[in-house]
Structure 1
């Protein structure tokens, strides 16, 4: 059985706070005299409010530019250890702006953590944000397009906002050549995924599982080549799926929809990037060729520089050819070398 860690993958769905190492969380919480989040009970179903409370508690330990820079650097290191040849880390700068004195200092701190690494930043707003604020974040992302920021996201509970209100923000981001990748179809039905594609021009969707309930939406995703960022370990604790085996990966793939596996918030869900591929193998019945195809989808959907994508795709072929011990790791070494090349080229809206 091939080792999954050397399989080159793009890590496209990871949140900054949710990427924190437990040891770093403990260290910072003790330094600042702050509480630590209580763990999610294994096997229990939690509402979004319980998840958000724990997430906010963890986020509070990131209080200085140095904390943010460290968290980004550690996230990139941990992703690389799982075979993540490229990382796109999602950061909502509003969450840290008050402590750091504004949105721009937050962006500077996270870009410092990503500098020189195989990583880009997706600046995000919240579905609960006012449209004007969302546009402000999109403009901030646009100012850093091609200089470390690769996308614009919309996170949090999608029930808190209206898709149409985010059209101006998405347009600003797309016009700057940034990927538009909102969370959708987590709690809302397939219509939410459809509207994010049609109204916002989303090239990727965070989660999007509810699309399986509407063949027309599946056809839309397949026709437009929209990639879903699926995070199997996130769904059972929040009641989205009954268990890991109920993740609708197979129906999505059978409908021609591209899927990239991601870890979402390993701090809380306790599963990293390689674990998602292990779940696809053990719980969802994916063969090694299918796992390689999922890795290809993630790479092709990323904003990684062309040299990085080429090195990773070549490594996928070597891994699939059975040379995982040298081929996959050699490819990841080549990826690290390629990072010193040009920054990602902004993607122009078609």
Structure 2
């Protein structure tokens, strides 16, 4: 048995960023579009450099069939890494123009999820930069699909662009429909932002959230409420947030904070789901613990969770180098 066969979930994955490089090349060539340049190795890039590359890649997605294809292929790629459940995030605003509207974008993602080889939950997201009324509109849209494939409501993009309290009504509307609240926080922002996402938004998980480790009170809040951090190791070095060696995963786990490893935007940052595990630890017991954390923190149905947890328990004693 190898790390690739460890049963896993991927709880932090964005639609465009989940695209295969070959698919992006094909779709871009179809419409004569430029490809995003790779990040310069060992250089630190500003957020704007990431956003420019992401926007170039997103421009290649030209309709519902492209959206569905990306979802299916992302699920295939994660399944090859042992995943039995993924949660894929989409901001419908970014695709409404090519998908027939906001609902059309969600429907296209759900169509892909229905055709995927493993179960896929869709997370509808608003941007931190979105006006509160638009975020509320998206939350209500997500709520209308609760129980029909949409499992969460997120806040993505640069969290410095919004105010936590302004987005509380949107998160409340989504939570009332039974959706998981999964905002990004603590990437560029301080620990207080992470704490506010928990207290004001009712966050069930935090995307990234590494800043929490700098404040014991915030770390203890996460541990006490069982709020998981979605940590994506390959995302941080190119943006100067942290090196792999500096990731405080062991300290977070020792403090009782759940950690769920994800891939974020593998198209741009590289690294599949298995790679995220091998980068942070070579200890099978720690890898199994991280896999269990992610399953427990997921919105997967009870039978899927039970199957994955049983698989993790069966995997751990059989690992070989």
Same fold (TM over 0.5): yes
Matched, 1:298 2:294: yes
Matched ranges for 1:73-112 at <5 A: 73-112=72-111
Partner of 2:219: 218
- Residue of structure 2 in register with 1:342 after alignment: none
Query: 95-104 vs 44-53, which deviates more?
Result: 95-104
Distance 1:47 1:247 in 2: 19
Q: Distance in 2 between matches of 1:146 and 1:15?
A: 21
Question: How far is 1:278 from its partner?
Answer: 0.6
2:24 is matched with 25
Whether 1:13 aligns to 2:12 is yes
Q: Distance in 2 between matches of 1:96 and 1:259?
A: 30
* 2:257 match: 257
Cα distance in 2, alignment partners of residues 35 and 249 from structure 1 = 37
Structure 1 residue 323: deviation in Å? 6.6
TM-score (norm 1): 0.89
Aligned to 1:61, the other structure's residue is in SS state coil
CA contact (8 A) 2:63 2:98 kept: yes
- 1:99: Cα distance to partner? 2.2
Q: Which residue of 2 aligns with 1:150?
A: 151
Residue 294 of structure 2: SS of its match in structure 1? Answer: helix
Cα distance in 2 for partners of 1:16, 1:44 equals: 25
SS in 2 for 1:54: helix
**Alpha-carbon deviation of 1:101?**
2.5
C-alpha deviation, 1:153, in angstroms: 0.3
The runs of 5 or more residues in structure 2 that have no matched partner are none
* 2:248 maps to 1:244: no
1:306 deviates by 1.0
Is the 2:99–2:108 Cα contact (8 Å) retained in structure 1? no
Which is worse superposed, 145-154 or 244-253? 244-253
Match of 1:228 in 2: 229
With normalisation by structure 2, the TM-score equals 0.97
Provide the C-alpha distance between the structure 2 equivalents of 1:281 and 1:120, rounded to a whole number of angstroms: 27
Q: Where in structure 1 do 4 or more consecutive aligned residues deviate above 6 Å?
A: none
Number of corresponding residues? 319
* In 1: Cα distance, 2:219 partner to 2:105 partner: 37
Q: What's the secondary structure of 1:5's corresponding residue? A: helix
Match of 1:196 in 2: 197
1:301, distance to aligned residue in structure 2 (A): 0.6
Report SS of the residue matched to 2:95: helix
